Every structure is written in C-alpha cells, then in structure tokens.
Amino acid sequence: MAPPLLSLDGIKLTFGGTPLLDGADLSASAGDKIALVGRNGSGKSTLLKIAAGMVDAQDGEIFRQPSATIRYLPQEPDMEGFASVRAYVEAGLGPADDIYRAAYLIESLGLTGDEDPKTLSGGEARRAALARVMAPEPDILLLDEPTNHLDLNTIEWLENELQRTKSALIMISHDRRFLERVSRAVVWLDRGETKRLEKSFAHFEEWRDKLLEEEEREHHKLGRQIVREEHWLRYGVTARRKRNMRRLGELHSMRADFRNKRGPEGAATLTASEANESGKLVIEAKNLQKRFGEMVVVEGFSTRIQRGDRVGLVGPNGAGKTTLLKMLIGELAPDGGTVRLGANLEIAALDQKRTLDPQETLANYLTDGRGESLVVNGEQKHVVSYMKDFLFKPEQARTPVRELSGGERARLVLARLLSRPANLLILDEPTNDLDMETLDLLQELVAGFPGTVLLVSHDRDFLDRTVTSTIAPAGDGRWVEYAGGYSDLLAQRGGEKLDERAPRQKKEETAAKKEGSGTAQSRSAPAKKLSYKQKFALENLPKQMAELEAKVSVLEKKMADPSFYNRDPDGFAKVAAEIDAHRAKLSAMEEEWLELEMLREEIEG
C-alpha cells in the first residue's frame, strides 16, 4: 500500500454542545479517489477544510507529506481583486506549473478567460474555480460540491477528467451518478466519526444500511443485558461483596452507554401542501418562439402537459431552460405562438437563486412574519414543530439565515415552498446543496405528487427516478420532448449527447461564418492564431513522444534477449503487442505535431 500523502487521525472539533467531529479519520494516498459523504451539517466541509489547513482541529494528529501540493475547491469561490478569469486561474499556479494547462482548462470549461469575475453566473464561477484548482495538477485535490451549478455536458467532461487525473481526490457531492463514476472508496462521516469502504459509491448505501442494522442489534442487546443485570442486582446472591460492587459499576457504565448513544440522524419529513385539483389540461403550448436580438432561444416548440405529468427540462447553461419554463407558466410572453393554462392552477415555485435575507430569522421566513404558526395542508402548525420536520432544531427558530450552511438554506427554502398549497410545482435546480437522504425524500415527494411538476435539473439520477418526460434542446432554438428520464433520452437519441453549445455560442459561430463567407479565399483562410489547446499540444507533444520512444527502446532491449521467448513465451507476446501499441500511438502523435507545426508556420506567415 502506498504511503499516505495526507492523514487525519482522531480529529475532534466542537462548536459548543454536541461534538461536530469526535475522533474522525481521513487519509489519502497517490491515486486515491475518495467520496466523503454524510448528512448536511455532519461536518464534511469542516473536515475537508481541516485537511486543507484552513481550519484548526481541537485535537487529533494531522500529517501532510511535506513535498505534496494541495488544492481546495470551496463551495463559494472568492474572486475579489482579479481583473479577469484568466488572472484568477493563473494565480493558482506554482512557479513550475504549466501555464498552457490553465489555458486548456479554461477553454475546455467553456470560458474565454477574458470574463470579468464580478459578472459571472453561478455556473461560470464554479467552472473558473475548477480550472484554478485543477491547473497545477496537485498531489491532492479537495473538491467541495464540484458539480453544483454545472450543466450535464460539463459534469460528464469533469467525470472523464477526474478519472484520468493522477491527483489523489477527496470529494463531497450530492450527485450520485458522479460519485459512482469517479470514486473508488467512500468515507462516511456519521455522528462525528468516520467509517471507510474500499469500494466505489455504487456499493455505499447497501453497506451503510448493514452497518446501521448491526448497530441497532448491538444497542438492543445492550438493553437486554442491562435488564438482566438489574434483575441480578435485585434478586441475585449478595455474597462476595467485591464482585457485586464490580458488577454494579459495570451496570452503571452500561446504563450510561445506552443513555448517551447518539442514534442515526432523523429523516426530514417532506410533504407538499395540496391545493384543490387542477383541470385535466394544465398547459398547452403551440409553436412557441422566443428571440433575444439575433439569438434564437426557442423556435416552434409545442407541448401538452396534463395533470399528474412530471416534466424535466435539461440542457447546457444558457440554452434557455428557464426562459422556456417561464413561457410555459405564463411569466414571460413568447414572441410567437400561444400558451393556454388550465383551470384552478395554484403554482408554487422554487427559484434556483434562492434569494434570502441574511438577517431574517428562520421562524420569520417560514411564517412571513405572521406570528408563531403557519397553516400546512389546512391545519395550523407551530413553526418549531414544522421546522423539526425539516431537521432544524428548536433553538434555531431565532437563528439568522446567514448562519446556516448551504444545505440548511436549501432545506429552509424547500420548507417554505412546501407549506404553500399548490397543484403545480415549479422546481428550478431543487437538488443543489441537499444531502442524499433529503434528496431521496424529495424524489419520493416529486414522484408521488398528485398534481403536476415542471423540473429543471442537471442531476441525472434524480431525473431518471422522477420525471415522466424530458424536454431537451436540439439546436437552433428547437426543443424536443422525450418519454422518460435522462437515460431514456440518451437511448432515444442513440447515445448522442445534448448539444454542448448554448445559443450565444452558436450566434458567435454563425456571425463568424457570415464574416468569412464573402469569397473562396476568405473561406479557406487559416485561423488568426492557435487555440490554447493547440498551443498546449504543440508545446507538450515532443516531450510525450520522447517519453514514448524511451519506453519502446527499453522494451526492444528486453525483446533482444535470446532466452526471453524460451523462458516466457506469453510475456514475449505481451511485450511485442505493447511495442506495436506504443509505435502506433507514436505515429499518431508525430502526425498531430506535424499538422500543428505546419499550421503555426502558416499563421506566422
């Protein structure tokens, strides 16, 4: 087993009251890909910050390999003081790091590098932060919710990039599909302690449930043992007093263990307040059209949504999902076409921005400042009782919103939304910042909601488990509705992924084509400069070819040994196949480098 690059042993941390971390362990060696999982508020982000050296533990041992580089991706990156995304990303590089790697990541993540950090959307800020921490190719990469606000194509690109990276990974994420594809081990943080599974996240939930069942059995056995000891204490032989005192002491100890045991965290209770039933037809849209200047967002879209339908909208950030959603519910007028809404609609909407007043208390937010109670499903309920359904403690009723974690804020917004009577739920990115247990409950709520649901999400697993149809962009403002969830959509498209380009990018490409379509000479003119990706390849291919040639040379020397074949014919055949594969790869790299070099010479005149 490789020596650890990072090791946290017996970490303890308390912010008053119950310990947040109570003997937690975490270690990572080269090549590790670890999913750090646990309930919201269990201390995952705090443990990751301790690993990064940003928070001090009160007790425990911490070891970081002196030569190891560590990069940490926060949930909310701070870009204050940077004039551009490129400046922000390059500031994360060390003296020996490759600047072309930063440029390659900026381009691959759909940014130009010239963007002003102050004007970035949530998704763009997350992509810039990912480029900054990944560019140095650190020994240890700590990622806190890396998929939040990313679209599906970017998430899938990130999965592939992280699968290939040599960096040791420790990642927190609510995206099941992402964790299943990237992780090779799971660390479960539960009630301040950690347990480790040396398998991918795909095996986690079955393993966790077995551990909880065993724990419940042991707790039950302890209870029965206490009953037996109490019976002995009352009715047993009272001779040999020293032994009796020892058993009495053991009984007190068992009682303390039984009384002080922290059981598993409770589950949230998500129940939507039901309004009167809507008409059978909820939304009928015919030939919808929407443009912003020359940018075509929606072109000729029609759909018919009936009571009980659960419709998902997917696509790249900037493709127009929210615009289409707003047109469907009548918040935004289309440029062409018609929208007809059904009768008796009562709409409850979750905005992905989830704007909250940081000074407002939880109780005031839930009741709209109308006292200590609210009406849920026609029944008056005290606000503290309702808060408990969403895993908030009674003492948090007067807590300002600013003191809540990202997950707690997400639960608070859901709590308010679900207290409103509705027969049409509009959920724009509802899964952001929710832990998996709450996600499971939200999934059950959406799947069992008697009304209608319109859902925008990039969570593939959540879409597969909830929606009855999925609307996705097909290019040039066209949108197509597919039966089933995201996996069904891919199957119906023959495995073809969604168009990665948003309308804004397509508009720029169209303008570039128009600009260059005057003459045959302009159509065949070379690019004005190499892309960052091309520069990176041109710079690094010679080094990679030299390394490959060295490998081939070593293997050829091995093959030259006259006794090799007689000694190990299978090994001989394996080495011969390896040499052929290396030579084929070397030939392809040489051809790519030659084409790039010719292009460079052509551009430079």
Q: Which residues are annotated as a binding site for ATP?
A: 38-45, 315-322
DSSP β-bridge partners for residue 268: none
Percent helix / strand / coil, the chain, rounded to 5: 45, 20, 35
Alpha-carbon separation of residue 518 from 100, 282, 514 (angstroms) = 34, 49, 8
Residue 199, φ and ψ in degrees, nearest 5:
-140, 170
The binding site comprises 38-45, 315-322
Which candidate, 405, 396, 393, places its Cα nearest to that of 435?
405
User: Amino acid identity of 512?
Assistant: A
Environment class of residue 539 by beta-carbon count within 10 Å: exposed (0-12), middle (13-18) or buried (19+)? Answer: middle
Q: At what angle do helices 122-134 and 152-164 cross, to 10 degrees?
A: 10
How many whole angstroms separate alpha carbon 513 and alpha carbon 418?
49
How many whole angstroms separate alpha carbon 271 and alpha carbon 269?
6
Q: How far is CA 531 from the centre of its chain?
A: 29
How many whole angstroms separate alpha carbon 132 and alpha carbon 24?
29
How many whole angstroms separate alpha carbon 274 and alpha carbon 420?
8
Q: How many CB atoms lie within 10 A of CB 308?
A: 14
Residues 6+ apart with CB under 8 A from 178: 147, 155, 158, 159
Contact by Cβ (8 Å): 103, 135 = no
SS3 assignment, position 162: helix
How many whole angstroms separate alpha carbon 192 and alpha carbon 452?
40
Alpha-carbon separation of residue 283 from 164, 274, 298, 328, 581 (angstroms) = 45, 19, 17, 7, 57
Q: How many CA atoms does the CB half-sphere of 55 hold within 13 Å?
A: 22
